[in-house]
Amino acid sequence: MPSGPLMAQPFDLRKLETVGEPVLIADQVAWNSFSASLTGTMVYLSGNSAAETGQLTVFDRQGKILETVGEPGPYRWVAFSPDGRRVVTARGDPQSGSENLWMMDLARGINTRFTFDSGTDFYPVWSPDGNRLAFGSIRSGKYDLYEKLSNGGSDEQLLFKPESETGITIPLSWSGDGRFLLFGQESRDALVLPLDPNGHASGKPFLFVQKEIGIDLHFSPGPQGHPLWVAYSSNESGIYEIYVRPFDPNSPNGTPPGGGKWQVSTGGGMSARWNSNGKELFYVALDGTVMSVEVGGASVFQFGTPKPLFKAKGFRTYLDNAALWDASSDGKKFIFPISQFASGIASPTRFTVVLNWPSLMKK
């Protein structure tokens, strides 16, 4: 889990603007893992919490453990290569608070560092041919999209720089024909970036799904590599469910005229993944169970009843689980970082409680 200093700054409610200078409240606080009450009490989770340590574990469709990958560590953003032979993941450095990408060769058991910058790199997305990786990166306080050859034989290249200097930009899915990259922003807008044959931006991004409607979008593999459907999570019904909507690359906004949407999950679901045959969709139920749904259809999307496959014991389910697991493209393997606390290796999570934290602003 990425971490960094927790800062506070006075705010003028009349002028609706910040005043004064930011003040350090705590070092190395886990991202989005703090809360403050109206009475002046604050609680936060340290970024190097032992409970964030996990062992990358590969399961089959029945939930049998096939292998463990690498050594235990604070892993996040896990992705199989299209051929299933490699896994790329982000691993945090508790000392610096930064996060870099690591490449893991499953056949040879070799783990190598993939990015080397001092910032935080996150959410790697494979190109359909497996030759490139797109990823988000925080450098100089800004969130941009980068790409790099998956064999490590090139420097990282800037892929897209948002016009806004603020907000989070997250790559989500690369289309099967290599022509488009889905990415999300902090507002939860989902945009599509056109790409040239070399994987470089070839035009301006266009809006596909507006804010608050969906997160964690994934192109279907589609026949002949052409994306036809996009699966995503949305809480528009009150809980997160899996939906599918069509994608038309010839439409100005990617949505064909009269395009609808279908709710695939029942009882809650997050983080959809496609089988490369285009006939199966996976997702994680709210209790951590991996679900499978048979899908099909050309002009009209068709799907069956969700069926449970297995539940990975020790997989911590929460809103960010979209980034914490993956399915191989053939649908035969599933990888999760299994909590070391659940297995008894690590100690329980320790939260820090600060009383009267506003007094720190006066020092």
CA distance 144 to 159: 8
CA distance 100 to 113: 8
The residues spanned by each domain of the chain are 3-44+348-362, 54-339
pLDDT at 171: 92
**What strands, in cross-sheet order, belong to the sheet with 262-263?**
215-219, 229-234, 241-246, 262-263
pLDDT at 346: 44
The contacts of residue 339 (CB under 8 Å, 6+ apart) are 51, 53, 54, 314, 315, 316, 346
Report which secondary-structure segment, H or E, holds 205.
none
pLDDT at 214: 66
The model's pTM is: 0.79
Q: What's the one-letter identity of residue 305? A: T
Residues 185, 190, 195, 198: what is their CA dihedral angle, to the nearest 10 degrees? 60
Contact status, residue 143 vs residue 162, Cβ threshold 8 Å: yes
Q: What is the DSSP letter of 213?
A: T
Chain position carrying tokens 């490590």: 152
CA distance 292 to 274: 10
CA distance 102 to 10: 39
pLDDT tens-digit map of 33-82? 788 888 888 888 765 443 457 889 999 999 999 999 988 888 878 999 99
The count of other CB atoms within 10 Å of the CB of residue 128 is 19
CA distance 150 to 160: 18
The parts of the chain modelled with pLDDT lower than 50 are 1, 48-51, 319-321, 343-347
Contact status, residue 160 vs residue 174, Cβ threshold 8 Å: no
CA distance 344 to 342: 6
CA distance 183 to 160: 10
The contacts of residue 66 (CB under 8 Å, 6+ apart) are 58, 59, 60, 333
- Give the CATH number of domain 54-339; options: 3.40.50.300, 3.30.2130.10, 2.60.40.10, 2.120.10.30: 2.120.10.30
